[in-house]
Amino acid sequence: MTYTLPPLNALRAFEVAARHLSFKLAAHELHVTPAAVGQQVKALEARLGVQLFERLHKQLVLTAAGQAYLPEISEGFRRIADATSQLKPAGAVLLQLGVHGSFDLRRLELAEFRGAHADIGLRVLQPAGLHELIEGKVDLLIARGLGHHPGYRCERINEGSGLGDWLIAPEGTADCPEIVSFRNWLRALPAENQLANHRRPRLVGSRG
């Protein structure tokens, strides 16, 4: 069977730009310039013969065609990501976690995570910050004092503590299975673990 497909790079540019409704933010996520994203989208529109965005002043708006197209394309990319992660042998999926310098890794009980998720290879880089995340040196980041950042999904780790540790992942990969697994693992940790960094760790031993 032969598939009639538009360029996948152009589809990806469309998907990200549609999520952000901004070429600039899309470019930030894809690590290219806004001009590159704009060209990809324009080329896609030309190829399809359908206008996907309405260009307003300082704002992108999805046309009806774009709105109809986006969920299908997003679902397609999600399926590809899922299929790829299922295809890889155990441990072949490498999740690179960046952690700010004052974070106590013993809070995370990483050895237990590795034991529970043998299919995910976990590598920790400390210290690491947003710079490492933007450069792609890490896949997700535990950062302090970075509540919101365009193009990235930011979630509080220690909810209600009043202290500022955040889990940050690029919007485009925030729903990847391995990142979802780690996020769920983090949420399932006991509250004392999540707060231990700021009280002083009382976990026995270092298993990280």
Q: Which is nearer to DNA, 22 or 96 (CB)?
A: 22
Contact criterion met (CB below 8 Å) for 16 and 50: no
Q: Which is nearer to DNA, 43 or 105 (CB)?
A: 43
Look at the chain and count its residues: 208
Contact criterion met (CB below 8 Å) for 106 and 208: yes
Q: Which is nearer to DNA, 32 or 186 (CB)?
A: 32
**From CA 49, how far away is CA 25, in angstroms rounded?**
25
**From CA 99, how far away is CA 130, in angstroms rounded?**
10
Residue 74: CB minimum distance to DNA, A: 19
Give residues in contact with DNA (CB under 7 A). Answer: 7, 9-10, 22-24, 27, 31-36, 38-43, 53, 55, 57-60
Q: Which is nearer to DNA, 27 or 140 (CB)?
A: 27
Residue 135: CB minimum distance to DNA, A: 13
Residue 47: CB minimum distance to DNA, A: 10
Strands 165-170 and 140-144: antiparallel
Q: Which is nearer to DNA, 29 or 165 (CB)?
A: 29
Burial of 46 (0-12, 13-18, 19+ CB in 10 A): exposed
Residue 85: CB minimum distance to DNA, A: 22
Q: Which is nearer to DNA, 36 or 203 (CB)?
A: 36
Residue 75: left (phi > 0), alpha (psi -120 to 50), or beta?
alpha
With CA atoms as reference, report the closest residue to 175 among 40, 67, 78: 78
Contact criterion met (CB below 8 Å) for 30 and 173: no
Number of CB atoms found within 10 A of residue 131's CB: 11
Residue 72: CB minimum distance to DNA, A: 20
Residue 76: CB minimum distance to DNA, A: 17
